[in-house]
């Protein structure tokens, strides 16, 4: 069991999708992790529908379903399903552990929530890095223009223009 704990977060991160601007997991993946059938899990959800508002769980459209199937190979069996799958947000996953009362459901919910948190932290870190890179590029552009200006000034000092100042003895006519 200890080995599973090390492997699960890596697997979970690959099973979290961004759909409609929300990070979600598909019902089939959750059922697999909870070691229950998708049908059984969805039955429990329907019996406890009040626990799952739209921001906790929603059903994919046909187009979203096709896109998810194209991305995730292990969901090909959904292609022949009459109904699009449900997806659960982080809060929906927590609520699932309340209706699926097994020790496995509670344990897996903890792992899944940690994966959502880790993903959120990674996104924030990437966003922060992106902002810093943008700022550095702006500074580099400004500094680059200044460096070009300095280089051209130094080049003029090293190689002054060859303007005649004064007169040459050849220019004198007597």
Strand ordering across the sheet containing 57-59: 17-19, 22-26, 86-88, 57-59
Task: Give the Cβ contact number of residue 129 at 10 Å.
Answer: 10
Domain ranges of the chain: 2-119
What average pLDDT does the segment 134-142 reach?
76
| pTM reported for the whole predicted model | 0.59
CATH 3.10.260 fits 2-119, yes or no: yes
Summary mean pLDDT of the chain:
78
Tokens representing residue 119 in the block = 């993903």
Q: What are phi and psi of 26, to 5 degrees?
A: -80, 145
Helices (H), the chain: 2-14, 27-34, 38-47, 62-71, 90-99, 103-158
What average pLDDT does the segment 76-99 reach?
84
- Asked if residue 96 lies in contact with residue 30, where contact means CB atoms within 8 angstroms, the answer is yes
Q: So what's the pLDDT on residue 46? A: 92
């Amino acid at each position: 069991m200890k080995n599973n704990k090390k492997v699960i977060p890596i697997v979970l991160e690959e099973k979290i999708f961004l759909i409609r601007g929300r990070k979600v997991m598909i019902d089939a993946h959750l059922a697999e992790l909870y070691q229950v059938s998708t049908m059984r899990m969805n039955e429990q959800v329907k019996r406890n529908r009040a626990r799952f508002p739209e921001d906790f769980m929603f059903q994919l459209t046909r187009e979203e379903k096709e896109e998810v199937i194209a991305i995730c190979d292990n969901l090909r069996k959904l292609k022949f399903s009459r109904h699009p799958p449900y997806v659960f947000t982080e809060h929906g996953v927590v609520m699932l552990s309340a209706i699926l009362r097994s020790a496995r459901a509670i344990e897996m919910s903890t792992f899944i929530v940690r994966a959502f948190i880790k993903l959120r932290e990674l996104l924030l870190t990437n966003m922060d890095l992106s902002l810093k890179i943008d700022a550095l590029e702006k500074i580099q552009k400004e500094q680059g223009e200044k460096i070009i200006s300095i280089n051209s000034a130094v080049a003029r000092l090293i190689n002054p223009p060859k303007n005649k100042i004064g007169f040459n003895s050849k220019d004198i006519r007597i």
